[in-house]
């Protein structure tokens, strides 16, 4: 038996999962989202990753980035290593891809701020 808290909405239902053969039986969920959340957590847990990358610009030394989808939980350290290895040496707009298909997950790492704007605002 496993216990989980559903994080799909602020109610935060307390879920119980019991394996029955190859299937998981989920209890405690007030809606179907909770059942799907628990099954995903138990069989293929994934997370979005938010971080920053280095830049060569003195006044904007780091630019916020995030994955444009969820990556497998066991790939997060490898994803962070790839993010940490980036040094951006050209301006990018918000939403531009910084790392394509990070760690072969099919997910991209994208900019969440506009470096053109930040550089202009800082007078560079
Ligand atoms: S099971 Fe439904 S109601 Fe309960 S926390 Fe998850 S999404 Fe919200």
**CATH number of residue 81's parent domain:** 3.10.530.10
Nearest alpha carbon, ligand 1 atom 8: 9
| DSSP 8-class letter at 114 | -
Q: Does residue 74 share a domain with residue 19?
A: no
> Chain-wide mean pLDDT for the chain?
95
- 35 & 55 share domain: no
* Domain that includes residue 71, residue range: 50-121
Ligand 1: distance of its center to the CA of 58 in Å?
45
pLDDT, one tens digit per residue, over 7-46 is 999 999 999 999 999 999 999 999 999 999 999 999 999 9
What residues flank ligand 1, with Cβ below 6 Å?
A: 6, 8-9, 11-13, 29-31, 33-34
Q: Whose CA is nearest to atom 1 of ligand 1?
A: 34
Distance 105 CA to ligand 1 centre (A): 28
Same domain, 61 and 7: no
Same domain, 21 and 57: no
Asked whether residue 119 carries a pLDDT value surpassing 60, the answer given is yes
One domain for residues 31 and 66: no
Residue 72 above 60 pLDDT?
yes
Which atom of ligand 1 lies closest to the CA of 29?
Answer: 1
**Residue that finishes a domain, picked among 43, 60, 76:** 43
Segment 54-62 long-range contacts (CB within 8 Å, at least 24 positions apart): 54/86, 54/87, 54/88, 55/87, 55/88, 55/89, 55/115, 56/87, 56/88, 56/89, 57/115, 57/119, 57/124, 58/124, 59/118, 59/119, 59/122, 59/123, 59/124, 60/115, 60/118, 60/119, 60/122, 60/124
Residue 95 has pLDDT above 70, yes or no: yes
107: Cβ contacts below 8 Å, ≥ 6 apart: 67, 68, 69, 70, 71, 101
pTM here is: 0.83
The residue nearest atom 6 of ligand 1, judged by CA position, is 34
Residue 37 shares a structural domain with residue 66 = no
Give residue 13's pLDDT: 98
Q: Which residues pair with 95 in a beta bridge?
A: none
Confidence of residue 121 (pLDDT cuts 50, 70, 90): confident
Q: pLDDT of 59-69, one tens digit each?
A: 999 999 999 99
Q: Are residues 56 and 114 in the same domain?
A: yes
As for how many domains the chain has, the answer is: 2
One domain for residues 29 and 69? no
30 and 66 housed in the same domain: no
Out of 11, 28, 43, a domain closes at 43
């Amino acid at each position: 038996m496993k216990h989980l808290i559903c994080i799909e909405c602020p109610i935060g239902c307390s879920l119980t999962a019991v394996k029955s053969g190859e299937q998981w039986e989920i209890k405690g969920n007030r809606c179907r989202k909770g059942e799907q959340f628990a099954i995903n957590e138990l069989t293929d847990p994934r997370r979005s990753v938010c971080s920053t990358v280095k830049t060569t610009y003195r006044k904007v030394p780091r630019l916020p980035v995030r994955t444009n989808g969820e990556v497998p939980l066991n790939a997060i350290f490898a994803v962070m290593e790839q993010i940490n290895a980036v040094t951006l040496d050209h301006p990018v707009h918000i939403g531009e891809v910084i790392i394509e298909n990070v760690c072969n997950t099919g997910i991209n790492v994208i900019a969440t701020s506009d470096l053109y704007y930040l550089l202009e605002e800082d007078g560079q």
